[in-house]
A = this chain, B = another copy of it.
Amino acid sequence: MSSLHFSIRRRRFSPPAVLATIYAVFIVLGAIALWLPFSSADHVTFSDAFFTAASAVTVTGLVVVDTGSDYTLIGQIIIAFLIQIGGLGLMTFAALLFTMLGLTIGMPQRLILRDELGQTGVSELLALVRVVILVAFTAEAIATAILMFVFVPEFGWTHGFWQALFHAISAFNNAGFSLFSDSLSGYVADPVVNITITLLFILSGLGFVVLADINRQRNWRKLTLHSKLMLSGTLGLILFAWVMFAILEWSNPATLGGLESDAARILASWFQAVTPRTAGFNTLDYAQMENSTTVMTLSLMLVGGGPSSTAGGIKVTTLIVLALATLAFFRRQERLNIFGRSLGMSEVMKVLALTALSIFLVAIGLFLASTTYKGDFLDLLFEVCSAFGTVGLSRGATGELDEFGRAVIVLIMFVGRLGPLTLAFFLATQSKPKVGYPEGKVFLG
């Protein structure tokens, strides 16, 4: 952390550049560690290890080898460590970033002048980091204890404990890595696993800003606009996806139709409705789903979770502002009003940049990956969206990629993980243009 703070104070490197460098270093170190004989089976190449490390650090969960069988216990511990570093590292960084923007946990509405940034005490930053880490470890410890009730009877104390801990770490960090080759499909009807895992990644996917706000206020009316938008937006997306998934897949014999009870179908619908934003576990096979379900899943993967969270995607708040701006435009308003607050044009500009960049990134990634991938197009589109949203769900294309395709997916995961926050940082140093031009007029269709 000292190098991060050092660079911020000295202003020689921008924090996003520092974060990107740290992540890249962790990926390379992780790749080497995973490649060593004590970590993995003989047939795991450096390319496999590199892809795994990149997927773990970016908390994506796309895999080219089987985590449970191709990596030793040491390899799995390294993966869990990389996931924890990747997830917590980013949350911690987000905490630092929001502090720099004058939006600390304790005072989300107070704006600290940029020149005072150097005076933001090290102790305050450390306190923030401490909160983030405390929340993470507490949540993971509780989840591990609960999951042990399922895994210990099945695998014994040692292995059962490791299964519980690994999946708790993976779930809290929205990483989607599983030690089972079919993810959590074996527990499709198990309420303990379903509820524990989904609660973990839904909560952490809200973002620590929201969690801290809830912890302080415990009263809907006193919550910040951001928290209200995140909570209502998340609830709306979950309910919508839950109902839609059940309707679309109910009679598909390869998915819901193959389950024994209606309760199991409703539970599996719940899991598959919440995992695309951006947990990445699955209890049903995404390759067997209807194309309509897959289109909905693609949309959910691109949306993702909340800012300053372990989730990826364009973020729920971006989607809401995008929808509100469009509605406001149709209502001929120049301002966006929601929950008694107004949003300015700078938010609209941010949303536009984020959306354009995301479309561009997905399109370019899809184009590049398609130059060497010869399999099914939908499978490839699915993996690219999964990588961009750091989701980790797969229809099987990732395993069939050549080295170039893997490099593309790694880059998308990397940019997908760093992109939005990097954008957010640029906001902190907004400047006015020096020359004023006369207004021009362009017709837009």
Interface residue ranges, A against B (CB under 8 Å):
98, 103, 108-109, 207, 209, 224-226, 229, 248, 290-292, 294-296, 299, 304, 306-308, 313-315, 317-318, 320-323, 325-326, 328-330, 332-335, 337-357, 359, 363, 366-368, 370-371, 373, 376-378, 380-381, 420-421, 423-424, 426, 429-433, 435-445
Known: A355-B356, A370-B295, A436-B342. A442 touches B229 (CB 8 A): yes
Asked if B445 and A335 sit within 8 Å, CB to CB, the answer is: no
Say how far A292's CB is from chain B's closest CB, in angstroms: 4
Asked if B326 and A356 sit within 8 Å, CB to CB, the answer is: yes
Contacts of A317 in B (CB 8 A): 442-445
Asked if A325 and B349 sit within 8 Å, CB to CB, the answer is: yes
Asked if A299 and B363 sit within 8 Å, CB to CB, the answer is: yes
Known: A314-B445, A443-B226, A443-B308. A332 touches B377 (CB 8 A): no
Asked if A356 and B325 sit within 8 Å, CB to CB, the answer is: yes
* A and B contact pairs by CB, cutoff 8 A, 25 listed: A103-B441, A103-B443, A109-B441, A226-B441, A290-B370, A292-B367, A292-B370, A292-B371, A295-B370, A308-B443, A314-B445, A315-B443, A317-B442, A317-B445, A318-B444, A318-B445, A329-B350, A332-B431, A341-B440, A342-B436, A342-B439, A355-B355, A355-B359, A377-B377, A424-B444
Tell me the complex Cα distance, A299–B342, Å: 34
Known: A325-B349, A353-B329. A442 touches B366 (CB 8 A): no
Contacts of A355 in B (CB 8 A): 352, 355-356, 359
Asked if B363 and A332 sit within 8 Å, CB to CB, the answer is: no
Residue of B nearest to A224 (CB): B441
Say how far A33's CB is from chain B's closest CB, in angstroms: 30
Asked if B337 and A435 sit within 8 Å, CB to CB, the answer is: yes
Tell me the complex Cα distance, A434–B323, Å: 21
Tell me the complex Cα distance, A304–B226, Å: 36
Contacts of A306 in B (CB 8 A): 445
Contacts of A378 in B (CB 8 A): 377-378
Contacts of A329 in B (CB 8 A): 349-350, 352-353, 423, 426
Asked if A442 and B321 sit within 8 Å, CB to CB, the answer is: yes
Choose among B229, B332, B341, B370 the residue that contacts A426 (Cβ–Cβ < 8 A). B332
Q: Other than the known A103-B441, A329-B350, A343-B439, what 13 A-B pairs have Cβ atoms closer than 8 Å?
A: A294-B377, A295-B370, A314-B445, A333-B433, A337-B435, A339-B440, A340-B437, A341-B437, A342-B438, A345-B348, A377-B381, A378-B378, A424-B444
Say how far A149's CB is from chain B's closest CB, in angstroms: 36
- For this chain, the copies found in one complex come to 2
Residue of B nearest to A207 (CB): B443
Asked if B209 and A443 sit within 8 Å, CB to CB, the answer is: yes
Asked if A423 and B445 sit within 8 Å, CB to CB, the answer is: yes
Tell me the complex Cα distance, A441–B344, Å: 9
Known: A226-B443, A443-B424. A352 touches B325 (CB 8 A): yes
Asked if B367 and A296 sit within 8 Å, CB to CB, the answer is: yes
Say how far A155's CB is from chain B's closest CB, in angstroms: 38
Asked if B352 and A322 sit within 8 Å, CB to CB, the answer is: yes
Residue of B nearest to A340 (CB): B437
Tell me the complex Cα distance, A441–B421, Å: 16
Tell me the complex Cα distance, A421–B98, Å: 41
Contacts of A351 in B (CB 8 A): 352, 444
Asked if A370 and B439 sit within 8 Å, CB to CB, the answer is: no
Residue of B nearest to A304 (CB): B445
Tell me the complex Cα distance, A315–B322, Å: 19
Asked if B443 and A344 sit within 8 Å, CB to CB, the answer is: no
Tell me the complex Cα distance, A334–B350, Å: 11
Residue of B nearest to A333 (CB): B433
Known: A354-B445, A366-B295. A430 touches B334 (CB 8 A): yes
Say how far A352's CB is from chain B's closest CB, in angstroms: 5
Choose among B209, B440, B444 the residue that contacts A225 (Cβ–Cβ < 8 A). B440
7 A-B pairs closest in CB distance: A341-B440, A420-B445, A315-B445, A329-B353, A225-B440, A342-B437, A377-B378
Tell me the complex Cα distance, A108–B291, Å: 47
Tell me the complex Cα distance, A334–B433, Å: 7
Contacts of A207 in B (CB 8 A): 443
